[in-house]
Amino acid sequence: MGNDGGSIPTRRELVKNAARNPNTSELKAAQLEAQTHAWSTCPLSNRPLSAPIVSDCAGTLYNKDAILEHLLPKADDVPAALIKEKEDLLQGRVKSLRDVVEVKFSISKEGKDEKKICPITSKELGPNTKAVYLVPCGHAFSEAAIREVAGETCVECNEPYTAENVIPILPLAKEDVARLAARAAKLKESGLTHSLKKAPGGKKRKKQGGESEVETKATTTTTKTETSTPALSGIKNAATASLTSKVLEEQEERNKRRKLGLNDNLKSIFSSAGYNAQTQKGGDFMTRGYSIPK
């Protein structure tokens, strides 16, 4: 049977193949697998990517409802480890909806299948094609098409853009990653966010009456939303407000189901009416209790 002390195998006998670095084909296969997953799955919720899809300053794609759920106040029963895991994933890039841009893909339907395509070249956008989107409009194209067009306005909506606001989607090249990091740092110094909107917490401008404009707006918003949901105050975009409302309803529904489930479990063990040995003779050992014989 062996292993009786008669012989001691050496490492050379146990390890037949020495460790080696993966070759080029293996690296490309692993890279393609990672890109395919990133193009199809939201890293925050681990659910399939579905419209509306947003992207941060690093070109990563997320479901918009997952971003909203992350930004909303957390319930007390949410594990701290889960919150930290999501914060580590975002690396501080998303602190508000101004830090993301909704990416607008052109969709081609073939039966039940839907493909994201470039509206100029009709090429499928995905792990095998370098894709970009424009800020602030968010329309997505293939990188080759934007390079060939070389214009200053989006061909879909005619909104102007600059070369530095052409954002690669899920970039792999070190040059693209470095350029996006430099762009984010420059925008932060200018008090702007990824969507080119002003970052929250900027300088307050004084009005003639001495009251700051920010305080005036806050007072007006509070007055208008006294009877509305606090989490929806300040959201001007109707689609975003509707999606936020939906996320809030789902979160509230989950909390209700969790509480109801807990109550049903407790009801099977405890009773608020007190114990009666005569009426609870038919119960089980958990509910019947013990009665002292006469």
Residue 168 covered by a domain:
yes
Provide the pLDDT for residue 280: 54
Residue 162 covered by a domain:
yes
- The range of the structural domain enclosing residue 135 comes to 33-189
Residue 155 covered by a domain:
yes
Q: How far apart are CA 225 and CA 257, in angstroms?
A: 28
Query: Which residues of the chain fall short of a pLDDT of 50?
Result: 204-231
277-289 confidence digits (pLDDT tens) = 555 555 555 555 5
Q: Is the pTM of this model over 0.85?
A: no
- DSSP string of 133-198? EETTT-BEEEHHHHHHH--SB-TTT--B--GGGEEESS--SHHHHHHHHHHHHHHHHTTB-TTSSB
Residue 6 covered by a domain:
no
Residue 156 covered by a domain:
yes
Provide the pLDDT for residue 87: 92
Residue 203 covered by a domain:
no
Residue 268 covered by a domain:
no
Count the domains in the chain.
1
Provide the pLDDT for residue 167: 96
Provide the pLDDT for residue 143: 94
| CATH code (residue 163) | 3.30.40.10
Query: Closest by alpha carbon to 67, among 41, 86, 39, 88?
Result: 86
220-276 confidence digits (pLDDT tens) = 444 443 334 444 555 666 666 666 776 677 767 766 666 655 555 555 555 555 555
Residue 252 covered by a domain:
no
Residues 6+ away with beta carbon under 8 Å from 51: 105
